[in-house]
Chains A and B, each alone.
Chain A
Amino acid sequence: MTETKISLSLPISGMTCASCVSHVEDALKELPGVSNVVVNLATNKASLAYDPVRVKLTDMQRTVENAGYAISISEVTLDVVGMTCASCVAHVEDALKELPGVTSAVVNLGLNTARVAYIPGVISVSAMKRAVREVGYDAQERSEGADALDRERQAREEEIKRQGRNLLIAGIIGMIVMVGTFYDMFGSLQAFIPKFLSYKWVIGLLTTPIVLGPGRQFFINSWRGLKHGVTDMNLLYATGIGAAYGIAVINTLFPNAGFGGEGATFFESAALLTTFIILGRWLEALTRGRTSESIRKLMKLQPKVARVMRNGQEEEIPADEVEIGDLILVRPGESIPVDGIVTEGYSAVDESMLTGESLPVEKKTGDNIIGGTINKTGAFKFTASRVGKDTALAQIIKLVEDAQASKAPIQKLADWVAGNFILGVHLLAVVVFIFWFFFGYQMFFDPNSSFILSPYKLGEIGVFGFSLLLSVTVLVVSCPCAVGLATPSAMMAGTGKAAEFGVLFKGAEALENASHLQTIVFDKTGTLTKGEPSVTDVIALANQEADVLRLAAIAEKNSEHPLGEAIVRGAQDRNLKVVDPTSFNSIPGHGIEARVENRDVLMGNRKLMRERSVDFASLMSKAEKLEMEGKTVMFLAIDGQPAGLIAVADTLKEHTAEAIQRLHKMGVETVMITGDNLRTAEAIARQVGIDRVLAEVLPQDKAEEVKKLQAQGRKVAMVGDGVNDAPALAQAEVGMAIGSGTDVAKETGDIILIKDDIRDVVTALEVAHATMRKVKQNLFWAFVYNTLGIPLAAGLFYPFASLVISPELAGLMMAVSSISVTLNTLLLKGFKPSLWSGRGQNLSTTVQLKTAQASTGND
């Protein structure tokens, strides 16, 4: 039986660290029919493929819930028109409930509404409306219905608010606890502090609401996970806070119980540990959303309404209801709702939000326009050609989302470490406890020893209290949340930043691979050159140069050969009148002959002239010189006599040399691959400074050439137009499809360069380097905290220094590690590619949004 797999992205809530990632992944992987599960902590999404016959969405929902997390559910209210009775209610409800991704649908006949709970990303509101319409009713989304983006923002804001409230409570009470705990050290200031605050039972009473209020979340979450056999960092917090608080309560109520008595009431540890952990959570919630700002910016571009012409009347409808073929009117200043082709009018459109190009692009009848861009000057009408998820903007968003949901190889290692870390840390906590209980305390304990950065002495603490203290501190200091955040947060920021400059990474792996590149192979035609030959030189023997070109153009007028077309274009560009020839005959592989203005015109290569015995000896040195420059020379004979030469060449793109130069500065070897002969290829390579030329390579052999470079141990990228270069793009470590314009998702290649600008290869590499630098810095900081913190917490240096870390300092260190990682990632926001300044100063850099089908790629 064949399996039909559906890919989907589930929004997961409740994940806080890398171990949560592996728990959700493991839980989903265990379901029959579910495969390719990748969970991303930074995006809070689980990407997977599933077989709808073997597993239902509700199974996934239950599984995720059983693991202690939840699939975020959004709600929307639809106004349903046309319902008259209870059976209508059932029809609408059934139609909605049958949709994959809808978890519940409640229709209210009295209010004519349908309240639908659904999984965003699996089903869209427009699909729900379509389903209702298909069963004979009409449905509109209520204006107050929040879309997925708003929901996500709302959820984040709620989390910030919740943790902010917790922080306020814990912070204020925690300060009072601190003042009370260190009352004896305030000296003359004691006069301003009520004495009762220093009583242990008062400190205990003040700590209790912190632990049971703001700190309750850790106990609830860890118990929920533990019930299903999963351990996450909430458990580290819960055991840490619980142990510190429990021992403090026992020592306050029963000072002679042998746990260390009043000298070991760590209420302030429990209070401040809770406060610092919540401070970390709050700051994380504040900063985490900012790393995904780029995708948010792209999403915001999606216009809400479209002005459609129906029956000669303007009608404003939601943009997601525009259908292919609809005629849409756009006024100055308005957003273009969907992709289409201009049918009437003229304007300039700002496409900078999608392509990064700063100058508005002129649009006239027949030109393509992209949804989400902004009309600047004139009004125009266009026919919708792509709507909904097929628009360029939707494809770009999908591509960026997919990239952000994917995992880089470096992240897989970090996830594995973090995923197994918590279990390891609990084992270590047992070892630390046993060591200090049976050996360490007797051998090294010094009653005058104290906590780091604290005058607080350990004093009369007993063997159990001391061993427990170190064991708890190990648990708290080891939290791997920074390790879990290090890579995905940087990847999100990097891929999003690249998208702002028109560079789309298809996955985190592509970004990581791009940072290791040593050699870049460029396809010549259409990549380094414009891919469109043009006349570069005209040499006349006796006639005027213009005459030579005009006669040649008339002779070639009916030719379909690219060189012939170039000559016709060349003549037209010089305002020469190109009339029809009297007769025309193509000589395949050699040239053409034609009757023009009562003269016999023969045009073609050297061989043709030799065969027809036309002597070009006097022009041969000039012909050879032109060929040395990489140009193709056409010989023109009139009435059997040599008349002149016309040189045609594919011209370089404007910024090719600049980009190649920059790549050399980055230490990257550049290679040009082409089907042209070696002389022509080398001439082009010389002009731009390419290091190595692979000439006379057939399209099907390009991949083989890439393989040969890889066999030399080079990390190779291939840059091509993505059509005839597809095998080579696939063979290379990184395939870059250039100038893919609106067909972004269909292109082969790991990186899509939206614009037809070779400088974006440099941008892609620079973004990749900057992102990987951030990943490495983040991982360094995350591991440094843990690798330094754990031995310190375990008391490794205690025998020499008589100092231990208090649990609250461990909590602060842990919080600082997460925040430093996130803040470091946010520095990527200021990234600007080196070849970006000054772009848009030249009209010729105007974006060429061409479809893959239209690309030439003839070498």
Chain B
Amino acid sequence: MEHEQVEKEVARLSVRIYIPIALGAAVLFLLAASLTGDYPLVARIGGTVWVGLLGLIVSMPVVISRVKKQFQSVLLEK
């Protein structure tokens, strides 16, 4: 498989993992903020967006490099 194709495939697979992770973190934050205190709606939404954004930034490189390694080892086995 061409290098560029591999990159595309890795990107496609990775999105399926890091987006749910980031969304999960954001939802968890929203739930916690809604259940634990009397926070204004804007603070809850703002916090959710911020946690989601940071979750995305943290999970993206980790997931992409893991997926890439797994993908390459599978290719090598083949």
The finding on whether chains A and B are genuine partners in a shared complex, rather than unrelated, reads yes
What residues make up the interface of A, taking CB atoms closer than 8 Å to B?
26, 30-31, 59, 62-63, 66, 226, 228-231, 235, 239, 243, 257-259, 423, 426-427, 429-430, 433-434, 437-438, 442, 462-464, 467-468, 471
**Which of A228, A229, A442, A464 makes the CB contact (< 8 A) with B43?**
A464
A235 to B7, CA, bound (A): 22
**Which of A31, A427, A464 makes the CB contact (< 8 A) with B47?**
A464
B25: A residues at CB distance < 8 A:
430
> Is there contact, CB below 8 Å, between A430 and B58?
yes
A462 to B50, CA, bound (A): 15
Known: A30-B72, A258-B41, A423-B62. A437 touches B47 (CB 8 A): yes
> Is there contact, CB below 8 Å, between A463 and B43?
yes
Q: What are 15 A-B interface contacts by the 8 Å CB criterion?
A: A30-B68, A66-B7, A229-B11, A229-B61, A229-B65, A231-B60, A259-B46, A423-B58, A430-B25, A430-B58, A433-B51, A437-B33, A437-B47, A463-B39, A463-B40
A423 to B50, CA, bound (A): 16
- Is B4 part of the binding interface, using a Cβ–Cβ cutoff of 8 Å? yes
A437 to B43, CA, bound (A): 9
> Is there contact, CB below 8 Å, between A434 and B51?
yes
Q: For residue A463, give the distance in angstroms from its CB to the closest CB of chain B.
A: 5
B1-41 vs A, Cβ < 8 Å mask (1 yes, 0 no) = 00110010001001000000000010001001100110111
B51: A residues at CB distance < 8 A:
430, 433-434
B34-78 vs A, Cβ < 8 Å mask (1 yes, 0 no) = 001101111100110011011101101111110010001000000
Nearest B residue to A243, CB-CB: B50
Q: Which 3 A-B pairs have the closest CB atoms?
A: A229-B64, A258-B42, A464-B43
Nearest B residue to A247, CB-CB: B46
Q: For residue B52, give the distance in angstroms from its CB to the closest CB of chain A.
A: 10
Known: A31-B3, A433-B47, A437-B47. A426 touches B57 (CB 8 A): yes
> Is there contact, CB below 8 Å, between B57 and A226?
yes
> Is there contact, CB below 8 Å, between A258 and B40?
yes
Nearest B residue to A467, CB-CB: B47
A235: B residues at CB distance < 8 A:
57
Known pairs A62-B4, A258-B42; list 15 more (Cβ under 8 Å). Answer: A30-B72, A228-B7, A229-B61, A229-B68, A231-B57, A257-B42, A258-B41, A259-B43, A423-B62, A426-B57, A433-B54, A434-B51, A442-B37, A463-B39, A468-B46
**Which of B4, B14, B29, B32 makes the CB contact (< 8 A) with A229?**
B14
A31 to B72, CA, bound (A): 10
A31: B residues at CB distance < 8 A:
3
B57: A residues at CB distance < 8 A:
226, 231, 235, 239, 426
> Is there contact, CB below 8 Å, between A59 and B3?
yes
> Is there contact, CB below 8 Å, between A471 and B61?
no
A464 to B42, CA, bound (A): 8
A63: B residues at CB distance < 8 A:
3
Known: A62-B3, A438-B37. A226 touches B43 (CB 8 A): no
> Is there contact, CB below 8 Å, between A462 and B60?
no
Nearest B residue to A242, CB-CB: B53
A426: B residues at CB distance < 8 A:
54, 57-58
Nearest A residue to B37, CB-CB: A438
**Which of A239, A258, A463, A464 makes the CB contact (< 8 A) with B53?**
A239
> Is there contact, CB below 8 Å, between B61 and A231?
yes
Nearest A residue to B75, CB-CB: A32
Q: For residue B3, give the distance in angstroms from its CB to the closest CB of chain A.
A: 6
B46: A residues at CB distance < 8 A:
259, 464, 468
Q: Is the interface of A mostly helix, strand, loop or mixed?
A: helix
> Is there contact, CB below 8 Å, between B40 and A438?
no
Q: For residue B50, give the distance in angstroms from its CB to the closest CB of chain A.
A: 6
Q: For residue B54, give the distance in angstroms from its CB to the closest CB of chain A.
A: 5
> Is there contact, CB below 8 Å, between A434 and B29?
yes
A231: B residues at CB distance < 8 A:
57, 60-61
B64: A residues at CB distance < 8 A:
228-229
B11: A residues at CB distance < 8 A:
228-229
> Is there contact, CB below 8 Å, between A429 and B60?
no
> Is there contact, CB below 8 Å, between B3 and A423?
no
**Which of A228, A229, A442, A468 makes the CB contact (< 8 A) with B63?**
A229
A463: B residues at CB distance < 8 A:
39-40, 43
Q: For residue B76, give the distance in angstroms from its CB to the closest CB of chain A.
A: 9
A362 to B7, CA, bound (A): 62
A467 to B54, CA, bound (A): 14
> Is there contact, CB below 8 Å, between A423 and B32?
no
> Is there contact, CB below 8 Å, between A462 and B3?
no
A430: B residues at CB distance < 8 A:
25, 51, 54-55, 58
A259 to B29, CA, bound (A): 17
> Is there contact, CB below 8 Å, between B4 and A471?
no
> Is there contact, CB below 8 Å, between A468 and B50?
yes
A602 to B65, CA, bound (A): 82
Q: For residue B70, give the distance in angstroms from its CB to the closest CB of chain A.
A: 13
> Is there contact, CB below 8 Å, between B43 and A423?
no
Which of B32, B40, B54, B65 counts the most A-chain CB atoms under 10 A from its CB? B54
Q: For residue A559, give the distance in angstroms from its CB to the closest CB of chain B.
A: 68
Which of B32, B61, B62 counts the most A-chain CB atoms under 10 A from its CB? B61
Nearest B residue to A23, CB-CB: B61
Q: For residue B33, give the distance in angstroms from its CB to the closest CB of chain A.
A: 7
B68: A residues at CB distance < 8 A:
30, 229
Q: For residue A90, give the distance in angstroms from its CB to the closest CB of chain B.
A: 27
Q: For residue B41, give the distance in angstroms from its CB to the closest CB of chain A.
A: 7
Q: For residue B74, give the distance in angstroms from its CB to the closest CB of chain A.
A: 14
> Is there contact, CB below 8 Å, between A423 and B61?
yes
A230 to B14, CA, bound (A): 13
Nearest A residue to B28, CB-CB: A434
A30: B residues at CB distance < 8 A:
68, 72
A66 to B39, CA, bound (A): 42
Which of B33, B46, B60, B72 counts the most A-chain CB atoms under 10 A from its CB? B46
**Which of B32, B43, B72 makes the CB contact (< 8 A) with A462?**
B43
Nearest B residue to A429, CB-CB: B54
Nearest A residue to B68, CB-CB: A30
> Is there contact, CB below 8 Å, between B43 and A427?
no
A257 to B45, CA, bound (A): 11
> Is there contact, CB below 8 Å, between B43 and A258?
yes
> Is there contact, CB below 8 Å, between B50 and A427?
no
> Is there contact, CB below 8 Å, between B3 and A230?
no
> Is there contact, CB below 8 Å, between A229 and B60?
yes
A783 to B46, CA, bound (A): 32
A777 to B37, CA, bound (A): 48
B4: A residues at CB distance < 8 A:
62
Q: For residue A786, give the distance in angstroms from its CB to the closest CB of chain B.
A: 19
B72: A residues at CB distance < 8 A:
30
Which of A423, A430, A442, A462 counts the most B-chain CB atoms under 10 A from its CB? A430
Q: For residue A292, give the distance in angstroms from its CB to the closest CB of chain B.
A: 31
A442: B residues at CB distance < 8 A:
37
A24 to B58, CA, bound (A): 19
Nearest A residue to B57, CB-CB: A426
B63: A residues at CB distance < 8 A:
229
A239 to B55, CA, bound (A): 13
A134 to B43, CA, bound (A): 72
Known: A239-B53, A430-B54. A26 touches B40 (CB 8 A): no
B36: A residues at CB distance < 8 A:
438
Known: A258-B42, A259-B42. A230 touches B50 (CB 8 A): no
Nearest A residue to B63, CB-CB: A229
A239 to B50, CA, bound (A): 10
Q: For residue A480, give the distance in angstroms from its CB to the closest CB of chain B.
A: 15
A433 to B33, CA, bound (A): 12
Which of B7, B25, B57, B64 counts the most A-chain CB atoms under 10 A from its CB? B57
B65: A residues at CB distance < 8 A:
26, 229
